[in-house]
Amino acid sequence: MKAVLDLGTNTFHLLIAELENNQVLEHYQEQIAVKIGAGGINHGKITEEAYQRGIMAIEKLLESSKKFPVKSIIAIGTSAIRNAENGLTFLNEIKDKFGIKVQKITGDVEAELIYRGVSKSFSFPAQPVVVMDIGGGSVELIIGIQNQILWKQSFELGAARLLEKFKPAGLISAEEIKRIDAYLSDSFKPFAAALKEINSKFPSCSTLIGSAGSFESLLDVLKIDLNKNSIPISKHAEEVALSDAQDFFKYILNSTQLDREKMRGLLPFRVDMIVVATLLKRHIINNYGLNQLIISRYALKEGLLNLTIEE
């Protein structure tokens, strides 16, 4: 039995699982909204408050892991930690205090692990797909065919970064939306170029697969608040009609902070960042010829788990 600790910019995740009959058997998952990038992510620093939240979260997650016969723990740190000037200090304190060595992974490695994890959630079609993961610090976009990655890039455009950069009002204005969308168009030029090239060589890429996180919020809000149904593809993946996704976009972008706090399908720690995360999803769906949306509940931690099991 193995434990995976994914120290993300918004959330620290714990996954405990083992391999049984060549299938991953998950025993336990826990997440804590640490928001380690809050207040300092665009300045390359973990603030003191966020630093202490992170240490306390690690302590709690490790206590949870002791309830299981875990033989090994693998831990990784992503965008906010890898880019912070005091990120190494934070990781060294974790090692000294808890005896856990956290590996600070690059954006490329993060993208590869995300694709590996998502690809385990259902059988990918025999044509290119786009996998998207929206974190607090970074956004990963990967184009691949089944088990083969054709192109990947990690963009420092996560929800926490966008929120601190643009500081949209409680009810985002049309002008703010236009400004953020223009920024995304410019930032995602490498993705647009890669997609164009791949579409010239392979069957057209028309499927977006959203990886866990805020994509799960899309699913939950659709089901709980908007009474929409998804189509199960596997135990860990569901298809959402594009018309329903557009309804979600309108619902979120026309909401105030108070409205979002009342949404039953929206976890409290996602209330402040869901607007910019929604603009990220909407931008990718509306601008790059993608006409199918599948949401996977697998992400980076499942990719890391499968990697360690396979090794």
Q: What is the pLDDT of residues 131-174, one digit of tens each?
A: 999 999 999 999 999 999 999 999 999 999 999 999 987 899 99
Task: Quick: pLDDT tens for 102-127.
Answer: 999 999 999 999 999 999 999 999 99
Q: Which domains does the chain have, with CATH numbers?
A: 2-105 (3.30.420.40), 121-301 (3.30.420.150)
Q: Which two tokens stand for residue 76?
A: 């990784």
Question: Does residue 311 have a pLDDT over 80?
Answer: no
What whole-number distance in Å separates Cα of residue 79 and Cα of residue 261?
A: 27
Q: Which helix (H) or strand (E) holds 153?
A: strand 148-155
For 75, list phi and psi in degrees, rounded to 5. -130, 140
> How far is the C-alpha of 292 from the C-alpha of 279, rounded, in Å?
17
pLDDT at 241 > cutoff 70: yes
The dihedrals phi and psi of 298, each to the nearest 5 degrees, come to -95, 155
Over residues 197-238, the pLDDT tens digits come to 999 999 889 999 999 999 999 999 999 999 999 999 999 999
Helix, strand, coil shares of the chain as percentages rounded to 5?
45, 25, 30
pLDDT at 290: 96
Residue 166: its pLDDT value, please? 94
Single-letter code of the amino acid located at 105:
I
Q: Of 207, 229, 223, 175, whose CA–CA distance to 285 is shortest?
A: 207
pLDDT in tens, 252-307: 999 999 999 999 999 999 999 999 999 999 999 999 999 999 999 999 998 988 77
**Residues forming a β-bridge with 141:** 132, 153
pTM of the model: 0.94
